[in-house]
């Protein structure tokens, strides 16, 4: 996934420093960009600095909705992330128990909606795919 961002350093502070993704930056690039990974693939996110171009609009619309990142193995990892984000001044927009995952929703510095989540180790979606579309419940962390 690629995001155009106003400030690469500000976005790196969010994705790398707050969300804990690892930065992979190529030298000799002709534009200001950085790739980030959680360690599962070579890169899951590419940030490209474009300055003060218009940002995303609010509310439902066609196109990009949100990006989701698995941040740990248990609910305590989600609690810890919530506390760190709040301490950094990030507003948590929502919290949901999807059955298969427990999730927090927030905005990155450019207004892109981000879901951070942990999987429920007791739910096996491979043997029961209906768990993927289970009813959403409020999450109480």
Check whether residue 77 and residue 115 sit in a common domain. Answer: yes
For residue 121, the model assigns a pLDDT of: 87
Q: Is the pLDDT of residue 27 over 70?
A: no
**Distance separating alpha carbons of residues 81 and 94, to the nearest angstrom:** 14
Whether 56 maps to a domain, the answer reads no
Whether 60 maps to a domain, the answer reads no
Check whether residue 39 and residue 103 sit in a common domain. Answer: no
Mean pLDDT in the chain? Answer: 86
Check whether residue 74 and residue 133 sit in a common domain. Answer: yes
Please give the residue that has the higher pLDDT: either 102 or 3.
102
Check whether residue 87 and residue 110 sit in a common domain. Answer: yes
Check whether residue 74 and residue 141 sit in a common domain. Answer: yes
**Distance separating alpha carbons of residues 118 and 5, to the nearest angstrom:** 26
pLDDT tens-place string over residues 29-62 = 566 888 888 877 666 888 888 888 777 676 666 5
Whether 59 maps to a domain, the answer reads no
The answer to whether 69 and 118 are in contact (CB under 8 A) is no
For residue 92, the model assigns a pLDDT of: 95
pLDDT tens-place string over residues 100-112 = 899 999 999 998 8
Percent above pLDDT 90 for the chain: 39
Please give the residue that has the higher pLDDT: either 125 or 77.
77
Find the farthest-apart pair of alpha carbons in the chain and give their distance in angstroms, rounded. Answer: 48
pLDDT tens-place string over residues 7-26 = 999 999 999 999 999 987 76
Check whether residue 82 and residue 46 sit in a common domain. Answer: no
User: How many domains does one find in the chain?
Assistant: 2
- Helical segments of the chain, H only: 8-12, 75-87
Check whether residue 42 and residue 77 sit in a common domain. Answer: no
Segments forming the whole domain that contains residue 115: 66-141
Name the most confidently modeled range: 35-39, 77-81, 130-134.
Answer: 77-81
For residue 130, the model assigns a pLDDT of: 81
């Amino acid at each position: 996934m690629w995001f155009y961002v106003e400030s690469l350093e500000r976005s790196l502070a969010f994705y790398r420093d707050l969300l804990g993704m690892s930065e992979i930056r190529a030298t000799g690039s002709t534009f200001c960009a950085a790739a980030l990974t959680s360690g599962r693939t070579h890169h899951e996110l590419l940030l490209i600095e474009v300055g003060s171009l218009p940002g995303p609009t609010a509310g439902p619309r066609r196109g990009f909705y949100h990006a989701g990142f698995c941040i740990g193995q248990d609910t305590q990892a989600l609690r810890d992330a919530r506390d760190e984000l709040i301490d950094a001044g990030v507003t948590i927009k929502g919290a949901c128990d999807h059955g298969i995952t427990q999730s927090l929703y927030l905005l990155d510095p450019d207004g892109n909606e981000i879901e951070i989540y942990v999987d429920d180790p007791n739910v096996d979606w491979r043997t029961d795919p209906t768990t993927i579309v289970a009813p959403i419940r409020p999450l109480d962390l």
